[in-house]
Amino acid sequence: MTDSSDIARWAEVLRDVSAAGLFHSEIFYDRERYSRLQSLAEEMMAAAIGITTEDFTPLQKELFDHPGPLIGADAAIFDDRDRILLIRRSDNGLWAMPGGAAEVGERPADAAVREALEESGVASRPVGLVGIYDNHLWGSNSSNHVYMLMFICEPTGGMALETEPSHSLEITERAWFALEDLPEDLDPRHRGRIPHAFEFREGIRPTYFDV
């Protein structure tokens, strides 16, 4: 049976999609559709918590006008030879850990596992939280504010890179790297964080957070 918590959850998904669409789209007709979707999300959320849509006016800017801060999740997957799995991104040609944005309703650890499977073809499970990173402090030039969570993951279906990733257009290469053999052309957003994963796995670094 559907209850108010279900409606609120669906409204939150619509809110996230509409806010992201309005933030990124410059096409008039698309913006019009996202605005309609946003209005529907407002009506659903108001109905779920028992208020009117007019009551949302003071919260409009905070809740509906921007899709942030965003949550990103990276998977630091290690094989049995203490090597980390990296992908070469097709958009900038740089090596990085597999990862990406979490979706509304998705746990960050699940997002890391999903993104890793999509981008590398390697199935894994999360076993530890390496740290939580503010992208503005870790080499990102994005205008979006993103909190990046990095998880240590273990392969669950083998370590051979034979399975074709479902999102193969996002990458050009996949490979395992030891700490001393990391490629020079690392994505700057990952360069300082990858050593944390090695140290966390060895038990010489606690979970990291920016202070």
pLDDT at 91: 85
DSSP letters of 137-167?
A: GTT---SS-EEEEEEEEEESS-S-TTSPPTT
Listed residue (103, 104, 98, 105) closest to 119, CA to CA: 98
pLDDT at 67: 58
pLDDT at 164: 77
pLDDT at 193 over 70: yes
pLDDT at 131 over 90: yes
pLDDT at 195 over 80: yes
pLDDT at 2 over 80: no
pLDDT at 66: 54
Query: Mean pLDDT for the chain?
Result: 87
Kindly report which listed range (12-21, 55-64, 181-190) carries the lowest average pLDDT score: 55-64
pLDDT band, very low/low/confident/very high, at 23 (cuts 50, 70, 90): confident
pLDDT at 192: 95
- Listed in sequence order, the residues at least 6 apart from 120 whose beta carbon sits closer than 8 Å to its beta carbon are 77, 85, 87, 98, 161, 165, 171, 174
pLDDT at 60: 58
127 vs 143: CA distance, rounded Å: 31
What's the rounded mean pLDDT across residues 55-80? 74
pLDDT at 56 over 80: no
DSSP letters of 34-47?
A: HHHHHHHHHHHHHH
What percentage of the chain reaches a pLDDT higher than 90?
51
With beta carbons less than 8 A apart as the criterion, state whether 115 and 100 touch. Answer: yes
Q: What does the block give as tokens for 144?
A: 């979006």
- Listed in sequence order, the residues at least 6 apart from 43 whose beta carbon sits closer than 8 Å to its beta carbon are 53
pLDDT at 143: 57
With beta carbons less than 8 A apart as the criterion, state whether 47 and 6 touch. Answer: no
208-209/146-155 β-pairing: unpaired
Per-residue pLDDT tens for 24-40?
Answer: 888 988 989 988 888 88
pLDDT at 149 over 60: yes
* Amino acid identity at 98: P
pLDDT band, very low/low/confident/very high, at 196 (cuts 50, 70, 90): very high
pLDDT at 64: 57
pLDDT at 26: 85
